[in-house]
Structure 1
Amino acid sequence: MVSCVVKNWQGEDVGEASLSLKVAKDENAAHIVHRALVRQQNNARQGNASAKTRAEVRGGGRKPWKQKGTGRARAGSIRSPLWRGGGVIFGPKPRDYSTKMNRKERRLALRTAFSSQSENLVVVESFAENLSQPKTKELAAALTRWGATADKRVLLILTDISENVFLSARNIPYLKVLRADSLNIYDILVADTIVTTPEALAQLQEVYSD
């Protein structure tokens, strides 16, 4: 059970909110969260790094000098891996780094990670109407009133990202905005402060309940 105080636009306490999520057992929590995090980072890799072997490098078809009698080390190709401009030994080739993980495990890891951030959770009343037009300065000031300062990474979780909120948030370098139904474990774990609304908590409870 996650319980926290609800703040208004001015940063005043106006109520309480709670969230109950099924999390992993203590002995398994770190392991399953780590697996989910590694999976997300692996799946984000393009895997298109490629180095040419000696068979793929252009040139080198002719023996550069005769085998014996020159006093130089014997050489069969100017594209040997020992030569500058030659092929690469065991270099990277395009590959798929993606890692599989069961859906139930992924959701359990996400719930566990979110619950572990309960001490850094700030719940505020829906504030979209307070931004009648895009104002980055007003949103940054509101984040400061809620306890999220510029030296911390802030994750803002909303049920719906209005245009004014999106335009106000996009130039705040320490802020990332996500929908409650599109969370990912990396952004949850790296956030120093998580700001959300009671409506987003309810949607999170509904979407990730099992």
Structure 2
Amino acid sequence: MELAITNSKEKLSVSDAVFGREFSHDLVHQVVVAYRNAGRAGTKAQKTRSEVNGTTKKSKKQKGGGARHGALTAPIFVGGGVTFAAKPRSFEQKVNRKMYRAAISAILSELNRQGRLKVVDAFDVDATKTSGLVEKLKGFDLGQRPLIVTEEASEHLYLSARNLPYVEVRDVQGLDPVALVGADTVLVTADAVKKIEEWLA
């Protein structure tokens, strides 16, 4: 298949397996959830009744004082332990490399079908200036949340986009499913397309 290059009469020949793949909602959902879970700290921690600071001595005599109670570290008391205390754990989910690549291909293919994947010959800025990048982006209809993908993101381009809250700049190596799914439009250079094709083929 061929991808049209914006502001050019030329077309870029690409693989159907990468940019013409059928969309699988279940696969993409699984990979996106797994990717986001891998970024969770999992450091939440609470104390059980054996870990709270306090004596474990019986608080009052067994009979004659109403309800029978043992140590004041029990969960029913203020300052006591937590019944089912949360402990640090990993939220990581296993995703095979083949599944991950298939999900990236499915997302790119769906973006292409929806007209949200724009290919350009090259994209960069001459100096680290946010206003310069804003002016350059006005020439493309990218929506509120554009994602710019280049073969190797230059320092000028990265720093110029840093102050724009909804503009993301990635190189091919830093591409991930969450960034692709969250973007209104993906602006990708021709060199980056070829590199993505090599990666996912």
Normalised by the size of structure 1, how large is the TM-score? 0.86
1:156 aligned partner: 148
2: CA distance, partners of 1:53 / 1:21: 56
**Aligned 8 A contact 1:21 1:111 in 2:** no
Change (3 A) 1:19 1:63: same
Change (3 A) 1:21 1:96: farther
2:32 aligned partner: 37
Between the aligned residues of both structures, percent identity stands at 34
Classify the secondary structure of the residue corresponding to 1:181: helix
Deviations 1:140-193 (A, max 9, x none): 1221221124xx211110011111111111111111111113311111111111
2: CA distance, partners of 1:25 / 1:197: 20
1:112-127 pair list within 5 angstroms: 112-118=106-112, 119-127=115-123
Structure 1, unmatched stretches of 5+, are 8-12
Q: How far does residue 21 in structure 1 lie from its aligned partner after superposition? A: 4.3
Q: In the alignment, residue 16 of structure 1 is paired with which amino acid?
A: K
User: Which of 49, 58, 74 is the equivalent residue of 1:80?
Assistant: 74
1:142 aligned partner: 136
1: CA distance, partners of 2:198 / 2:187: 18
1: CA distance, partners of 2:2 / 2:173: 18
Q: How far does residue 17 in structure 1 lie from its aligned partner after superposition? A: 3.2
1:69 aligned partner: 64
Q: In the alignment, residue 196 of structure 1 is paired with which amino acid?
A: V
Normalised by the size of structure 2, how large is the TM-score? 0.89
Classify the secondary structure of the residue corresponding to 1:145: coil
RMSD between aligned residues: 2.0
Does residue 185 of the first structure (1) align with residue 180 of the second (2)?
no
**Aligned 8 A contact 2:5 2:121 in 1:** no
Q: How far does residue 134 in structure 1 lie from its aligned partner after superposition? A: 0.9
